[in-house]
Amino acid sequence: MTLAANANSAPTFVHPAQALLGAQAGAVVLPVCDHYSGVEARMRKSLALQSEMAAEFGHCVFDVTLDCEDGAPVGQERAHSELVSALARDAAPGARVAARVHTVDHPAFADDMAIIAGEAGHRLCHIMIPKVESVDDVLQAERALQAAGAAHLPLHVLIESPAAVQRAFEIAAHPRVQSLSFGLMDFVSAHGGAIPAAGMSVAGQFSHPLVVRAKLEIAAACHAHGKVPSHCVVTEFSDAAALEAAAGRAAREFGFTRMWSIHPGQIRAILSAFSPPEGEIAQAARIISAALQADWAPVSVEGVLHDRASYRYFWQVLTRAHQTGRALPETAQAWFTDAAPPSS
């Protein structure tokens, strides 16, 4: 295995994440599923389900985002912000809870940030800002975080217009931004009928050229800057086959590493779609084990030559398997204990 030593000390194990990631060490790693709910009963059920599944898998496998933009009744925005803040503060230890606030130009935005980030910022993993059009919107949200005493909180942003897609690389480059999500329905409607309604369907969103281009731009912008591209919802929430097909294509063909859920029944399907196949997990464990034994020098495994480039890829396979709750081979389990260094 890989060891660091000097003449006067015993060898010390070097974790694969430290040995391999190099320039990618600062890349953001998030759970592959982001579950949204905005009605009180559903928000409470979502947080309870998160705790149940964390106990099942041994760690938190999806985020819960408490929604103000679509969840707050008109005229009751402040009361909804206070509810979201209270739910976040009361969440179980280790919970990953976020909040989607109103747009930066909405009258409720300032209260959302002051109440939710100001009162519950210590329990939140991030704040989601919808309908971001430019870096100026990010800067406005950043100032609101600072005013609320929550300058540590990352921002996730929702890209929902052609102009925002054009600026995706600039937005993704901002250090406060952790993830870009694609808002399919608003993006289609922003085209004034130029994209047909079919562009919002499971089939159409992967075939209409303008929608495809938007998804690829967002994914490419995120990967260029070490951020996480998050795929849009599947509104046909009762159609399991449609969800599985969309999640699989988003992960395998479009470069997305995270996806929204709007129904509890979608969570496990997203985890499955974004997890590596069992055979690749086993292969990755064999290759990383061989690399450790060779002190990261090139090795041949099953007749195929591997070096640091492929080692890095297969380490990322194991990381994704762990994120999605997949069983790891015994040789790889120790690399993902609580005492192990993080993968990012």
In a domain, 4, yes or no: no
Domain range for residue 72?
33-274
- What's the one-letter identity of residue 108? A
Whole-angstrom Cα distance, residue 89 to residue 339?
26
Write the DSSP symbol of residue 113: I
In a domain, 109, yes or no: yes
Tell me, what's the pLDDT at 236? 80
| Three-state DSSP class for residue 35 | strand
Q: Using CB atoms within 10 Å of the CB of residue 231, give its burial: 0 to 12 exposed, 13 to 18 middle, 19+ buried.
A: buried
Are 167 and 308 found together in one domain?
A: no
Q: What DSSP element (H or E) covers 321?
A: helix 308-323
CATH of the domain at 136: 3.20.20.60
Nearest Cα residue to 13 out of 309, 337, 298, 308: 337
Are 46 and 81 found together in one domain?
A: yes
Tell me, what's the pLDDT at 13? 56
Predicted confidence (pLDDT) per residue in 176-228, tens digit: 999 999 999 999 999 999 999 999 998 899 999 999 999 999 999 999 999 99
Q: How is residue 154 written in tokens?
A: 């990352």
In a domain, 344, yes or no: no
In sequence order, the β-bridge partners of residue 35 are 64, 261
The rounded percent of the chain whose pLDDT value lies above 90 is 80
In a domain, 10, yes or no: no
Tell me, what's the pLDDT at 238? 78
Are 209 and 230 found together in one domain?
A: yes
Q: Tell me the C-alpha to C-alpha distance, in Å, between residue 153 and each of 102, 107, 124, 320.
A: 17, 22, 8, 24
Nearest Cα residue to 96 out of 179, 208, 11: 179
- Residue 271: alpha-carbon gap to chain centroid: 12
Q: Using CB atoms within 10 Å of the CB of residue 140, give its burial: 0 to 12 exposed, 13 to 18 middle, 19+ buried.
A: middle
What domain count does the chain have? 2
Q: What DSSP element (H or E) covers 181?
A: strand 177-182
What residues of the chain score a pLDDT lower than 50? 1-12, 23, 339-344
Burial 143-167 (b: 16+ CB within 10 A, else e): ebbeebebeebbbbbbbbbeebbeb
Q: Which residues contact 60 (CB under 8 A, 6 or more apart)?
A: 31, 50, 53, 54, 94, 95, 96
Are 71 and 98 found together in one domain?
A: yes
Are 318 and 212 found together in one domain?
A: no
